Chain A
Amino acid sequence: MPVAFDDGVVTGEGLIAGHRVLIAAQEGGFMGGAIGEVHGAKITGLIERAIETRPAAVILLLDSGGVRLQEANAGLLAMGEIHRVLLDARSTGLPILGAIGGRNGCYGGTSIIARCCDCLIASEEGRLSISGPEVIETVEGIEEFDAQDRALVWRTMGAKHRRLIDEIDVIVPDDMSAFRNAIIAQLNVSRPLSLETLEAEQSALRRRVERFRDAADARDIWRALGVDSPECVSEMEADDFNRLVEGLEGSGS
């Protein structure tokens, strides 16, 4: 197995717009950003430190296909520990911000990390899903999901769709300063994690399954959400797309 000096993740502390933050950045080029024992321990350690030192936020720059399967239980344990410490941190009111802008997207256990964050920021190239396109095609067949059809992959797992169904909070252009500005706007903002919020989330998910049960394609969902021309969504630049989302939220659909 190839090795890397940093095991595919850089962690550290620094200032962003004068605010102290702790930050982890995954290297998607190394084993697809997969999380193994050392890689995972670095992220867990970072968040544990944040619980003690109370920075303005922990920032996770995610670009990962999930757990490093070849490390077997050690990898799975590492993933589980990140999930646990994330929830610990949130219960103390420490904001955890996730950002997805890499080519691997965010899959498997890393997608669970992402959804445990207070706030998720992504560019339209970002993807978020438990199972990857090839996995779905293998299990369900090519008629159900053609992993080669990249337009289909992005409209099913891409950041815009995740934004429209409320799983991602902010969409930004594929640009470093845009990510930075979006992160600054979320510093020191914590979304408390309580039994009530979890129960509300559960029932929202139940309603979502009910409402979109018959949708065969993401575009059907977008239309049901009130998007007039779902076929235009994929081509929209981030600003136009955000205006569209604002309009939908304004109309209360």
Chain B
Amino acid sequence: MPPRDRVMNRVALRYQSRIKRGAALANGKVVDAKDATALLEAVIEPGDRVCIEGNNQKHADFLSAALAAASPGKLNELHIVQSNIALPTHLDIFESGIARKLDFCYSGPQGLRLFNLIGEGKVEVGAIHTYLELYSRYFVDLSPHVSLIAAEMADREGNIYTGPNTEDTPAIAEATAFKSGVLIAQVNRVVDRLPRVDVPADWVSFVVPAPKPHYIEPIFTRDPAAITEVQILMAMMVIRGIYEKYSIATLNHGIGFDTAAIELILPTFAEELGLRGKICRYMSVNPCPTLIPAIESGFVEGIHCAGSELGMERYVAERSDVFFIGRDGSMRSNRVFCQLAGHYSDLFIGSTLQIDLEGNSSTATLDRITGFGGAPNFGSDSRGRRHNSKGWLMAGEEGRRDERAIPRGRKLVVQMVETFREGLTPTFVERLDAWSLMSTFKSPIPPVMIYGDDVTHIVTEEGIANLLLCRTLEEREQAIRSVAGYTAVGLGRDRRLVEQFRRRGVLVYPEDLGIDKRMATRDLLAARSIKDLVRWSGGLYDPPARFRNW
């Protein structure tokens, strides 16, 4: 028998005292913006795990600044557990000693500074996670004691409306509220009646109306005017050589110009091939404006989104047959569900900065810590999948080494890269920079974005390497070299193998797919400018000022 005096609800008791301290500053649940720092000093305790909501787009920027303004004498040794390190204030708290430990997924523009702070010993990194992995750990060993979230509106009881950028809020709110954590929402407005409730009031501890609406970055907008002919050529190869061949109906696209080029030639190139209704029917992506022509021309029938995109709100709201829309008429996004949906789809395609001879890819380069975001979850074989589709079965069959092996399906994971990046930096390398980062980081493993054994195809301007058909690791290396162009890796190919590879379908050149390179011009794009996208949308897409040229 355990001793009777053992206390098993310490966290809940601590929650009560946190709330009592915070309530002194609140009117009901609402706390004035000027008292935000005092509120955080009142409810957070040294050593707490804290999440500051922020991802690709929406950020609890005001509360993040309020935390950075706290006194390191009162708040210190915090353990930050959040998906994105994107704002300067996210790192200010490490510089000042308020926080020490960090578990995260992704750091874009702050990658260089983070790298330096780690070097100075100011940041102690637990791990760089993938999105699903970090959110899963919220429900295991990393539940936040305090979470600072961002939302559009709250009512006076504390119900929360996120608007179309729901994103990570549900995962954070659930993990915090049901593990006796304090949930504080920064809102743009407090209103009497919400359009819809995204987080119920009894999960929410405090509401802080921010002086300025939370920052949202339009990171999924790609101007068709910047798409190059090489990208169009590669997009043609992907449609013929992969989407058509495997009848890819469900998929996830990365967010670069390469995949934007695919989206923009669906209504032209793929339409002429008679592929409407056969490929690209369901997608797990943000509402990228370059998808508008494919949606309007009936290619893409359903999209679930991880988040929204600035300017797309009205267009999305008017397309409820395609998108997931709340009763209020605006989109509901959810990063965790979108990641799951994409994980179980037929195909992931995206770009990367480096690929090695085994097909491992990484976006980590020497002086930056960037992390991975969603690509590793999308870009890995879904071994928990059991339902079948033509492409999944075909890929499984192609990858089957041995007739006696049990038949199974396989997800297609495609890396689409040019052999050289800007400044003539080679994409293909003998050894990933990730190895050097591993030692800098004192990490037991190098930060790899997508593992080579998950990658099924590599597409470059030279052709498509089908890694499923490679029988040995040596063949796999040669297949990769055969599409690596004039990089040192590409020049190291065994030229005698090329014809054999082409016969076996390991290597596919544009001419093998009947592609006339002279067709690879911008005339093939269904929209050549942002204005064209507005026209396709019937005037519903309202691009941010920085993307206009009218």
A residues lining the B interface (CB < 8 Å): 103, 124-125, 148-152, 154, 158, 160, 174, 234-235
Contact = CB atoms under 8 A, between A and B. Distances in A.
A125 B531 CA distance: 9
Contact of A148 (B529, B546, B550): B546
B178 interface: no
15 contacts: A103-B225, A124-B550, A125-B529, A125-B531, A125-B549, A125-B550, A148-B546, A149-B545, A150-B546, A150-B547, A150-B549, A151-B545, A151-B548, A154-B549, A174-B531
B539 interface: yes
A235 B537 CA distance: 13
Given A103-B225, A235-B539, A154 B548 contact: yes
Interface of B: 225, 529, 531, 539, 545-550
Nearest to B545: A151
Contacts of B529: 125, 174
Given A151-B548, A152-B545, 15 more contacts: A103-B225, A103-B549, A125-B529, A125-B549, A149-B545, A149-B546, A150-B546, A150-B549, A151-B545, A154-B549, A158-B550, A174-B529, A234-B548, A235-B539, A235-B550
A153 to B, nearest CB: 8
A151 to B, nearest CB: 4
Contacts of B550: 124-125, 154, 158, 160, 234-235
Nearest to A149: B545
Contacts of A150: 545-549
A148 B529 CA distance: 18
B254 to A, nearest CB: 26
B229 to A, nearest CB: 12
Contacts of A174: 529, 531
A104 to B, nearest CB: 11
A125 to B, nearest CB: 5
Contacts of B547: 150
Nearest to A105: B549
B527 to A, nearest CB: 12
When A and B form their complex, which 9 residue pairs have the shortest distance between CB atoms, in order from nearest? A151-B545, A150-B548, A151-B548, A124-B550, A149-B545, A154-B550, A125-B549, A150-B546, A150-B545
Contacts of B549: 103, 125, 150, 154
A103 B549 CA distance: 9
Contacts of A151: 545, 548
Contacts of A148: 546
A83 to B, nearest CB: 28
Q: Which of B531, B545, B546, B547 has the most CB of A within 10 A?
A: B545
Contacts of A235: 539, 550
A29 B499 CA distance: 39
A31 B193 CA distance: 57
A166 to B, nearest CB: 20
Contacts of B539: 235
Contacts of A125: 529, 531, 549-550
Nearest to A146: B545
Contacts of A149: 545-546
A103 B528 CA distance: 12
A125 B529 CA distance: 10
A174 B225 CA distance: 14
A150 to B, nearest CB: 5
A176 to B, nearest CB: 12
Contacts of B531: 125, 174
Nearest to A150: B548
Nearest to A123: B550
A162 to B, nearest CB: 13
Contacts of A124: 550
A160 B547 CA distance: 18
Nearest to B532: A174
A160 B531 CA distance: 15
A154 B530 CA distance: 14
B167 to A, nearest CB: 26
Contacts of A152: 545
B205 to A, nearest CB: 39
A235 B534 CA distance: 10
B265 to A, nearest CB: 20
B539 to A, nearest CB: 7
A174 B531 CA distance: 10
Q: Which of B225, B545, B548, B550 has the most CB of A within 10 A?
A: B550
Nearest to A125: B549
A160 B549 CA distance: 12
A142 to B, nearest CB: 14
A154 B545 CA distance: 10
Contacts of B545: 149-152
Contacts of A158: 550
A5 B531 CA distance: 33
A124 B546 CA distance: 17
Contacts of A154: 548-550
B228 to A, nearest CB: 12
A151 B548 CA distance: 6
B247 to A, nearest CB: 37
A239 B225 CA distance: 23
A151 B529 CA distance: 15
A16 B225 CA distance: 29
A158 B531 CA distance: 14
B542 to A, nearest CB: 9
A179 to B, nearest CB: 16
Contacts of A234: 548, 550
A234 B531 CA distance: 11
Contacts of B546: 148-150
Nearest to B549: A125
A148 B546 CA distance: 6
A245 to B, nearest CB: 16
A144 B531 CA distance: 27
